[in-house]
A and B are shown apart, each in its own frame.
Chain A
């Protein structure tokens, strides 16, 4: 069972710990896996239990990513993510579930606290900054993001909502209204589309990026001016799996201040958005570019559903990379009071994503959040 470097391109180190009772005990195991075929999380979980001979003990599995963060492995997506980041070794940590220290997961868990073991033993040790408490994410994926911060006017906000399955509704309503615009003929009243209501518990509300009376300017790069409420409704529903809404927030005091030092996520946002979207939100972008997430499913005679591939594969991935940004009710300049954060499950781990989520965001002071 304990093999090392048998397979040419899959080298792993399974670094595992076991805590029993209050006593600290750690076991270390090293084994290898086929990197190209990591299999399912359940299989891996079973493998771990088998390797450590703890078949009936519920454990939490975590791994150290390239930034040194301890991140959980609890589903197929983040398991695959973890395997893909092995470089070439992947360090895996196992805790018993009932004694698990949830706060150990998160940003810089392994870099800042040099001694992981110490940290695990005494979680409150030497904590300089208030740490975000992230509940144990069951499904680790992005929910929403602000994109194209640098190319939009400061008064506008482009929000991307990710809709997976049907477990959580998008949860907002739009209505007709009118707004005042500056035109060559002076101020003019023009009809517009506004967000009229957020469903409590819905996706839109939980992101905090959309609010009642925000004016909807664009849907997936297409201006809504001149379109009827029903047209805009249909456009949003048709794009609901990957909805990008550009709004003019009713509350203009939370806007991104462009002149502030851009770093961290907002800097990357620039690059990524340039890749993925034309600057002017031209509707002439090729329809093929928009969504790989909406591949239709084909069931051939053998009865196995598969995604329908593109006939002409494009070499470059034009997918705009996900930016995780958080909107906070309070706190200043990146210092986040741990009790105030309403944080939706944040991370990335879907098979289509090619990069790790940028978890350093909260640590850097050049934040994009201004209050």
Chain B
């Protein structure tokens, strides 16, 4: 007996081998829009686009499914990127003035992005003096010459350096100092002043010896590298940007006063002082600078002038605009976020006479917008990827696996009816480089995201490119305050400038009550339920045709005439009455409103029984949406729980309030966009400091951080919050008869199980007879550790979870074993327990918190298929903890299988946003706009597999070392991709947790307790409004604060330790 008990589970080699075949951890791909983009590049030959970010990530996109990701070793902003055309190589400039050469290399037929070389400007004397003209310290512009073999670097000092790109070595002696240029300039222009930084470098398309150099002060020089002399000199105003027309005969320059000038570069020797045309497009009042200007000519004889900025300073100085001018047509594209950069897709072959721009791509802070310039009206082209997930902040997400083809087609068609141009979208997307080698996904996966503005977006999550399919808006059902604002704004808009709203990023929510809290979809009946912040529970059904109908409204009082409680929170939403028009797609059928209108915290749908269950912080209810009548309402409030009653607007503790305010402030700054990493850092510290002040005004500096050890008591605040709801057909009352049951778990460790009397549907009929559903309380389980119940699932006689409604009856899943021997798995934040049914007795349990000190945040039952054997699969419990680790447990034995470090523990919204799929994958937000996809399964991995046709000599002498082998271990926002070996967890705890001891530590996992990296991502992640609890935030603040204190403790203990030593 003793031998048995103390035998280590992991010792079995057979099992170890099986584990390796089942489980493997990979972070595979980042979906969505890169957070904080800072640079853009386009390779017209390969038709691939690169986006660089402030965290040093480089992402290359081609055709849908073609994606490459790289991460610079230093977390520095990528300021410029230039493709070596056709070579699949990319030169990046960071804001520390280092240059990096990236290349796409093929391993086993698949392409990866790797850093090949890097170049740090030399810092020897003579070069070092930052203000001197010969300093390379601040590179302002980069120009690639001679098919990318040579790079010209313009600097702040006004010099132009030349760099051999294949080796990234500086070509000494070719440097063009400002003095060389000044010799060609008339004396009166010189007048002892410097030329200023090099603002622009442009190459001639056909004559590689000519470079157009623009200096900040306004001097434009066409420099002939062969003759080492200036061909032409133009004297202009304070310069912002330059563009050389393809024939080389015309230049266009943009200036800081909001004007642009066109210069003729034909024959002539003397310096030109007057441009042929100079206009201030949005004058006559003072305008802001035109930051970038492009000139593209067309076969029809006219030309495009595309520029950013230049808006009238007083009236529209805060707009983010790009103006497109062709002949007499001017359109002012009005974006909702800051413009980073833009480019046109046009012909770059030297022999062509015209640019013929096809498309304009504008990279904004929060999205990428592509306009089709060949179609009249320049419509926007829907992007097949890079979708701004956060166009309204994501509030919840859900994944639906194995979507039936029929439902998929209906959702796609509903989405096509929504977007104005369904047909041409695929063909006109201009960025088409590379080939996607990934196999067609074997099954369709649907990712649903709920948003703050009351929308639910449907994404195709089957492959690498996360494609928007359909958008469901629930706001139309309700009367909101801000309805008239839009129409007023439209009317007030003048004709000039001719604004056109472009892009979908909209950080402003009309009414926070519309926010979607929970979503559930039945994939067989195409019914779904959307539950929101004001206690609204909406049952919808997919319809292929538009309709006009009234929605029946019911309200359920969850307080159940408890007295002494007053709700001080928001009002419930008032629904519109009467028939309302609904477009094709999901159309509301029934609206249930909870009273008091607290945010819905759990929802579940059983389409077979036509039942929806919902829970708030006050209780839970059950609603029969076929008969449109409530079945059950139960209050879960503890009598002492006054906090829950007051609603979200007036929390008792001012600490919580101040927390929220602090974060709200941070969030605002995030949206405004103009923010550097350091700035964010200080903001966060400021918030921390403020919090600390309010929490304990005096001795925050003096006392080291400490934690109070007190057991959880029954009257903790918010104990009545319903955390999970579950429907199951199982044995609740006796072992002879199984039947419908509903389970609810609360924040205080209570589980309520109801036996339901659902009238059986007539044979063959879909609808059940019109008789009332009844619910009888069958069992009530109180977990003595009182931790919140995170999930409930019923396991059948073979230990497998019950299939979803309709799954078994439609032969899509193996029928459950209904011979009895069922068990219920209850996962709390601290423990997992399996109890037998119908007589509840404890079967197995695992006390995660007691063993590991971590708490459960998310759990899901997932099926893991083996890589070695086609038809072997195990169902396991995947669990994400508050430390960001993912654990996998066997079911129903609850034996730990593997664990991996997945998310940084500081990334609370990343942890809160995590969603697992049914087949061992998962998603979490790494920034407000990006989902990281990870895989726990060794077999089911969705990762980019693509190739590019690259033509360049591979035998170049490379003196450098490989800096990075696999891009998969890193992540663009700097999360260390530490992968713990799938070690046995049953061993002694010390060695098993030796993080990074036997795995290489990635360079960005710094030891400093509060690196800038963590601060920025902490800041940026805070503005998703996922269900981050106050406790999460306290944890988080504590940990950053704590590390500071630890340092102090170390110092203190040093003294103490010495004393011990003396003894």
Residues on A lying within 8 angstroms of B by beta carbon are 163, 166, 169-180, 187, 189, 191, 196-197, 213, 220, 222-223, 225-241, 278, 282-290, 294-301, 305, 308-312, 316
Contacts and interface: CB of A to CB of B under 8 A. Distances in A.
Given A166-B714, A175-B707, A235-B850, A295 B1053 contact: no
* Residue of A191, A297, A310 ringed by the most chain B CB atoms within 10 A: A297
B706 A283 contact: no
A295 B842 contact: yes
B838 to A, nearest CB: 10
A237 B1061 contact: no
Nearest to B1042: A229
Contacts of A220: 850
B783 A237 contact: no
B780 interface: yes
Interface stretch (B100-108, B232-240, B668-676, B1043-1051): B1043-1051
B842 A296 contact: yes
A299 B782 contact: yes
A238 B1039 contact: no
A227 B992 CA distance: 12
A175 B1049 CA distance: 9
Interface in B774-812: 776-785, 787
16 contacts: A176-B704, A187-B1061, A229-B705, A230-B1038, A231-B854, A234-B849, A234-B854, A237-B710, A238-B847, A241-B711, A285-B5, A287-B846, A298-B781, A298-B840, A308-B781, A311-B843
Contact of A178 (B8, B833, B1035, B1050): B1050
A310 B842 contact: yes
Given A238-B830, A287-B846, A296-B842, A223 B705 contact: no
Nearest to A231: B853
Contacts of A187: 1061
A173 B707 contact: yes
A174 B853 contact: no
Given A175-B704, A234-B849, A284 B883 contact: no
Interface in B260-306: none
Contact of B994 (A226, A283, A290): A226
Given A234-B830, A284-B9, A311-B843, 6 more contacts: A176-B704, A180-B1060, A233-B707, A234-B849, A289-B5, A298-B780
* Residue of B835, B990, B1038, B1060 ringed by the most chain A CB atoms within 10 A: B990
B855 interface: yes
B566 interface: no
Nearest to A240: B711
Nearest to A192: B1053
Contacts of B835: 308, 311
Contact of A300 (B710, B713, B779, B1057): B779
B711 A237 contact: yes
Interface in B1-33: 1, 5-6, 8-9
Contacts of B707: 173-175, 229-230, 232-233
A296 B783 contact: yes
Interface of B: 1, 5-6, 8-9, 704-714, 733, 776-785, 787, 830-831, 833, 835-836, 840-847, 849-855, 883, 986-990, 993-994, 1035, 1038-1039, 1042, 1045-1046, 1049-1050, 1052-1054, 1056-1057, 1060-1061
A223 B993 CA distance: 11
Contacts of B830: 234, 238
B58 to A, nearest CB: 33
* Residue of A166, A223, A237 ringed by the most chain B CB atoms within 10 A: A237
Contacts of B988: 223, 282-284
Contacts of B8: 284
B710 A240 contact: yes
Given A301-B777, A308-B781, A230 B706 contact: no
Contacts of B1050: 177-178
A225 B1061 CA distance: 21
Contact of B845 (A166, A177, A180, A287): A287
A175 B705 contact: yes
A225 B992 CA distance: 12
B785 A238 contact: yes
Contact of B1045 (A176, A178, A283): A176
Contact of A241 (B784, B855, B993): B784
B779 A285 contact: no
A230 B1039 contact: yes
Contacts of B855: 234
A224 to B, nearest CB: 8
B709 A240 contact: yes
* Residue of A178, A225, A226, A284 ringed by the most chain B CB atoms within 10 A: A284
B702 to A, nearest CB: 12
Contacts of A222: 850-851, 989
A309 to B, nearest CB: 5
* Residue of A174, A191, A222, A234 ringed by the most chain B CB atoms within 10 A: A234
B6 A173 contact: no
Contacts of A173: 706-709
Contacts of A176: 704-705, 1042, 1045-1046, 1049
Contacts of A177: 704, 1049-1050, 1052-1053
A227 B994 CA distance: 10
* Smallest CB-CB A-B distances: 3 pairs: A231-B853, A240-B711, A238-B849
A237 to B, nearest CB: 6
* Residue of B777, B830, B842, B1049 ringed by the most chain A CB atoms within 10 A: B842
A335 B1052 CA distance: 40
A196 B713 CA distance: 22
Nearest to A278: B6
Contact of A308 (B841, B846, B854): B841
B709 A311 contact: no
A299 B751 CA distance: 10
B1053 A178 contact: yes
Contacts of A223: 988-990
Nearest to B835: A308
Contacts of A309: 841-842
Nearest to A300: B779
A234 to B, nearest CB: 5
Contacts of A227: 852-853, 993
Contacts of A300: 778-779
A180 B1052 CA distance: 13
B852 A231 contact: yes
Nearest to B1038: A230
Nearest to B1063: A252
A299 B780 contact: yes
A273 to B, nearest CB: 14
A286 B895 CA distance: 10
* Residue of A189, A235, A296, A300 ringed by the most chain B CB atoms within 10 A: A296
Contacts of A180: 1057, 1060-1061
A38 to B, nearest CB: 25
Given A176-B1046, A230-B707, A230-B853, A311 B713 contact: no
A228 B842 CA distance: 31
A278 B6 CA distance: 8
Nearest to A218: B989
Nearest to B836: A311
A285 to B, nearest CB: 7
B849 A196 contact: no
A238 B883 contact: no
Given A220-B850, A238-B849, A311-B843, A174 B709 contact: yes
B841 A310 contact: yes
A235 B6 CA distance: 22
B910 to A, nearest CB: 17
